[in-house]
Chain A
Amino acid sequence: MINFQYTRASDVADAVRQIAADPTSKFIAGGTNLLDLMKDDIEQPSRLIDISQLPLKSIDGTDDGGLRIGALVPNADLAWHPLIEQRYPLLSRAILAGASQQLRNMASTGGNLLQRTRCFYFYDTATPCNKREPGTACSAMKGLNRGNAILGTSDACIATHPSDMCVALAALDAKVHIAGPAGERSMALTDFHRLPGDMPQRDTNLAPNEIVIAVELPAQGFANNYTYLKIRDRHSYAFALVSVAVGLELDGNGIRRARLALGGVAHKPWRDKSAEAVLEGQAAGPAVFARAADLLLRDAKGFGHNTFKIDLARRAIMRALTQAARGTPQSISSKKIA
């Protein structure tokens, strides 16, 4: 870890001023990802601006019946918040499927959005990586790419976004609230993360002088018919090979509304509205689930070690849709896939 200066931000405006004044600085909140990366010299900020004491820790109702979650709400507190457990159990379970309780106690909502990839080569400073050092090469493309992306990849990068929480947020139509020098703006969670293209060093559409201040959920939480199904090499405390977040609004066996997002397969939570459209207005069942899976995975491409993910994702989507339609969401602690 390189040496760095440390300052505290007194409020959001001060945080924005400080980051704008020093482009080599970084915000720190929970620190669980940033300090890890700094210890390996992957992140080398000259200054850390401590935002952990800013008043962004509340969960409040919104005028349209949704919830606004402060960017500094710890992941554990969010997952176990009574309103989240009751109204957005998909989000609760997705959060609890990720990391460990110690990390969830530290990690913030905003920081979860800004996690960097867990691609082996991004972490291995002895190898080229276009995300870490633009213009070098992608070592994962022909390397050990079991964990890497099958959708939305580019010639420059096949990294995945590691978050579970963001997969649920994508399915739930969450919005991200951002503050910057020009004031506040918001964008859909699905527009927040980007595909690698020829700029894999950029994970998100957040400008360098902006700060995430909140995440907003709409009223519909799909609390009756949902699941978060995470498939991984180890039963707990491992990143997803493939994960599926599903929210269904049912009328009998008919699907009125469907939300479907994949994790572990792309540079961002993967959502394809055409797959949801094919489900809506249909009776829940394997034939229509298979059509949705085909649509979601129609452009999937493997790179050798990760090619199995295409078939795995297809089966996981089918299973997750079945779980959600039956109202039997995947348990976090029992590892049996129902």
Chain B
Amino acid sequence: MARTTAAGQANFSIPDRIPITLIVNGTERNLNVVPWTSLLDALREHLDLTGTKKGCDHGQCGACTVLVDGRRINSCLTLAVMKDGAKVTTIEGLAADGTLHPLQQAFIDHDAFQCGYCTPGQICSAAGLLAEGRAKTPDEIRELMSGNICRCAAYPNIVAAIQQAMGAS
């Protein structure tokens, strides 16, 4: 089976851009995207919401975690066209009226990062974890946060920060 190359796609007709609506951090945003635009690229490149980070782009690192209809997902493994009409919350949308989200404050209080690149994903993932209400113990927090990698290894402080936010909520 020959592998398709760019040249082999010569007869491919570029599909029309598909109009979609995303409710991003409470605001309705209308976009026209090609089918292969990931939700991550739609947020970063079309909407200039660069708080959500592209790490591995393969669902392995968790840096791209956002909340879609209240659930945490990897935005890099999601096509924007498949989320037409969805409510998306990114790190830019967590603070309300100038007050940091309890998780954002807890990450500062516990110094739960070094370079900060994974932090938006960590915080959005933790927001999803709080909403799920399943993690009670540090072991359970670690297990349910295992989809977010921190190469600076701030893990103990991340767990402490989440515990603080859990106590506050």
A287 on interface, CB distance cutoff 8 Å? no
CB pair B82–A31 under 8 Å, yes or no, is yes
CB pair B3–A100 under 8 Å, yes or no, is no
Segment 112-151 of A: residues with Cβ below 8 Å from B: 125, 133-134
Taking A31-B78, A52-B82 as contacts, is the C-beta distance between A3 and B1 under 8 angstroms? no
Q: How many residues of A contact B (CB 8 A)?
A: 37
In the complex, residue of chain B having the shortest beta-carbon distance to the beta carbon of A234:
B146
Interface membership of chain A positions 23-62, coded 1 if the CB is closer than 8 angstroms to chain B and 0 otherwise? 0000010011001100101001010101010000000000
Taking A39-B57, A48-B35, A106-B77 as contacts, is the C-beta distance between A237 and B147 under 8 angstroms? yes
CB pair B72–A102 under 8 Å, yes or no, is yes
A80 on interface, CB distance cutoff 8 Å? yes
CB pair B81–A6 under 8 Å, yes or no, is yes
Q: Report the minimum CB–CB distance from A20 to chain B (whole Å).
A: 20
CB pair A3–B36 under 8 Å, yes or no, is yes
B45-53, B99-107, B127-135 - the one binding chain A: B127-135
- Contacting residue for B73 out of A50, A80, A105, CB 8 A: A105
A103 on interface, CB distance cutoff 8 Å? yes
CB pair B132–A101 under 8 Å, yes or no, is yes
The interface residues of chain A, by DSSP majority, are classed as loop
CB pair B18–A35 under 8 Å, yes or no, is no
- Contacting residue for B35 out of A4, A100, A105, A334, CB 8 A: A4
CB pair A237–B146 under 8 Å, yes or no, is yes
B34 on interface, CB distance cutoff 8 Å? yes
Interface membership of chain A positions 204-247, coded 1 if the CB is closer than 8 angstroms to chain B and 0 otherwise? 00000000000000000000000000000000110000000000
Taking A39-B57, A41-B3, A101-B128 as contacts, is the C-beta distance between A32 and B35 under 8 angstroms? no
CB pair B71–A105 under 8 Å, yes or no, is yes
Q: Report the minimum CB–CB distance from A246 to chain B (whole Å).
A: 21
Q: Which residues of B contact A4 (CB under 8 A)?
A: 15, 35-36
Q: Report the minimum CB–CB distance from A35 to chain B (whole Å).
A: 5
Interface membership of chain B positions 65-82, coded 1 if the CB is closer than 8 angstroms to chain A and 0 otherwise? 100000111100111011
Roughly how many angstroms separate A106 CA and B128 CA in the complex, as a whole number?
13
Q: Which residues of B contact A6 (CB under 8 A)?
A: 15, 18, 35, 79, 81
- Contacting residue for B3 out of A5, A103, A125, A236, CB 8 A: A125
Segment 20-51 of B: residues with Cβ below 8 Å from A: 34-36, 38
CB pair A332–B143 under 8 Å, yes or no, is yes
In the complex, residue of chain A having the shortest beta-carbon distance to the beta carbon of B128:
A101
CB pair B59–A5 under 8 Å, yes or no, is no
Roughly how many angstroms separate A83 CA and B167 CA in the complex, as a whole number?
29
Q: Report the minimum CB–CB distance from A50 to chain B (whole Å).
A: 6
Roughly how many angstroms separate A2 CA and B4 CA in the complex, as a whole number?
8
In the complex, residue of chain B having the shortest beta-carbon distance to the beta carbon of A32:
B77
CB pair B82–A28 under 8 Å, yes or no, is yes
B9 on interface, CB distance cutoff 8 Å? yes
Q: Report the minimum CB–CB distance from B89 to chain A (whole Å).
A: 14
A99 on interface, CB distance cutoff 8 Å? yes
12 A/B residue pairs, CB under 8 Å, sorted by A: A2-B9, A4-B36, A6-B18, A6-B35, A32-B77, A36-B77, A39-B58, A48-B35, A101-B72, A102-B128, A106-B74, A237-B147
Q: A100-B62, A101-B147 are in contact. List 17 more A-B contacts (CB 8 A).
A: A3-B12, A4-B15, A5-B15, A28-B79, A31-B78, A35-B79, A44-B3, A46-B12, A52-B82, A80-B134, A102-B72, A103-B147, A105-B128, A134-B1, A237-B146, A237-B147, A332-B143
